[in-house]
Amino acid sequence: MAALTALSSLAFILFAIAIFNEQFRTTLSKKLTRKKAVVAAVGFLFLAAVTKSGGEPDKVELSADPAPVVETASAEKSTEDADKAKADEEAKKKAENEAKAKAAAEAKAKAEAEAKKKAEQAALAAKAVIDLNKHARKTEKEVNTVLGAPAETESVNWGLLDEGIKIKGKMNYYKNGKVEIMFLEGKAHRIRVNLTKDEFNTGDKMKENLAYMGLPGIELESAENEIQKAFYANVEGYYSIQTGAWLGTDDGYVLAITESRYR
C-alpha cells in the first residue's frame, strides 16, 4: 500500500509539471504517442483512485474490556455491613436481656434468702423465754415488774475473783425455775435460762440456743478443743454469753454475765 501511494504521488507530480511547464509538456508530447498518453492517463487515474480508497488503513475499533461494576460491589458491601450491624444489635440485645434476667434472678434469690432469714429469726424470737437486754443490770423491782414475782428466792455469797472477796447477793427463780437471775450489789448481773433436752440445740444448731435469751442470729465462736462443753458468743455490752450442756445430762443452758468482776 505504501508503494502504490508513492507511485500515485509521483504520477501526480509529473502530471502537474506537464500542465504548468510548457517545455516539459512539449518534450513529453514528442516522446509519447496518443495511445501511450491515454494509457498513462488511465494509469494515473487508477493510481489516484487506489490511493484514495486504500490510502488509510482500515480502522479497527477495539472494544475495551468492560469496567468493573463498582456499583454491584458497593451494594454487596452495604448489604454485608447492614447484616453485620443487625447481628451485632441482636447480640447486644440478647446480652442485655440475659444480664437483666441474671440480675433479676439474683435479686429474687437475695430477697428470698433475706425473707427466709427473717422468718427463721422471727421463729427463733418466738422461742425467747426472756429478753436479756430488758433485765441485765436492772434492779429486782424492775425485773419483777416484767417477769412477775419469783417462784423462789435464796441468799448467796458470791466471790469476786479479781478482788478476792465475797459479797452478799440474791438468787431469784422465775417461770418455775426456768430463769435464774442473780442480783449482786443490787443489780441483775448473772442471768441464766435452763433448757430441757427437747429445747437444747447441739452441733451446728447450738447457736440457736441464744434465741431463748432474746439473742437470735448471734454467731458462736469456734470451739478451742473437741471436749469443750460451753460455747461463747461475743455480744457488745456483756462480758460473757455462753451456752452448753449440764454435765452428765442432755439438758442445757444459756448464761449471760454482764461484767468480768461477776464472772
**Residues sharing a CB contact under 8 Å with residue 255, sequence separation 6 or more, in sequence order:** 190, 191, 192, 240, 241, 242, 243
Is 156:170 a contact under the CB 8 Å cutoff? Answer: yes
**Total-model pTM:** 0.57
Write down the domain spans for the chain.
2-54, 132-262
What is the architecture, at CATH level 2, of domain 132-262?
Sandwich (2.60)
Nine cell digits for residue 232 = 461463747
Is 151:177 a contact under the CB 8 Å cutoff? Answer: yes
Burial 149-162 (b: 16+ CB within 10 A, else e): ebeeeeeeebeeee
Alpha helix (H) residue ranges in the chain: 2-20, 22-31, 34-54, 70-126, 132-135, 140-147
Per-run averaged pLDDT (10 residues), the chain, 263 residues: 56 57 58 53 54 51 57 83 91 94 93 85 80 97 96 96 93 97 98 96 93 93 74 94 91 96 94
Residue 247, number of CB atoms within 10 A of its CB: 6
Tracing cell 447457736 back to the chain, one arrives at: 207
Tracing cell 479479781 back to the chain, one arrives at: 162
Burial 86-120 (b: 16+ CB within 10 A, else e): eeeeeeeeeeeeeeeeeeeeeeeeeeeeeeeeeee
| The pLDDT of residue 30 | 58
| The pLDDT of residue 224 | 73
| The pLDDT of residue 59 | 52
